[in-house]
Amino acid sequence: MTDIAITPGKNATFDIYRYQLLVDKAVQLRTDSPYQNPDEVRAAKNTILENILSNQNFHFKSNKSEIESKLVYQKNNRFYFKVAVKRQKRITNKDFTETTVEDYPNILIAFNNAPDVQKIAIQSYTQAFKETDTVSRILEETIDKQLRNESLSFYLEPIFDKREFWKMVSHYDKKIKQLSFEMVSPNMANISRNLQINLKELYEDTNSHKTTVELNSDGDSNLEINPDSKLINSLVDYTSEGGGNISMRVEGIRKKLHTAQSKAEFSVEEALLKGMDWDALDEKFKDILI
Task: Note the pLDDT tens digit of each residue in 63-98.
Answer: 989 999 999 999 999 999 999 999 988 888 888 898
Rounded to the nearest integer, the mean pLDDT of the chain is 90
pLDDT score recorded for residue 27 = 79
**What's the pLDDT tens digit per position in 117-173?**
999 999 999 999 999 999 999 999 999 999 998 999 999 999 999 999 999 999 999
**Spatial distance between the Cα atoms of 1 and 179, rounded to a whole number of angstroms:** 44
Q: How many residues does the chain have?
A: 290
**What's the pLDDT tens digit per position in 229-268?**
999 999 999 999 999 999 999 999 999 998 877 788 888 8
Q: Are 246 and 262 in contact (CB under 8 A)?
A: no
| pTM to 2 decimal places | 0.89
pLDDT score recorded for residue 9 = 58
Return the number of other C-beta atoms located less than 10 Å from residue 257's C-beta.
18
Q: At 7, is the pLDDT very low, low, confident or very high (cuts 50, 70, 90)?
A: very low
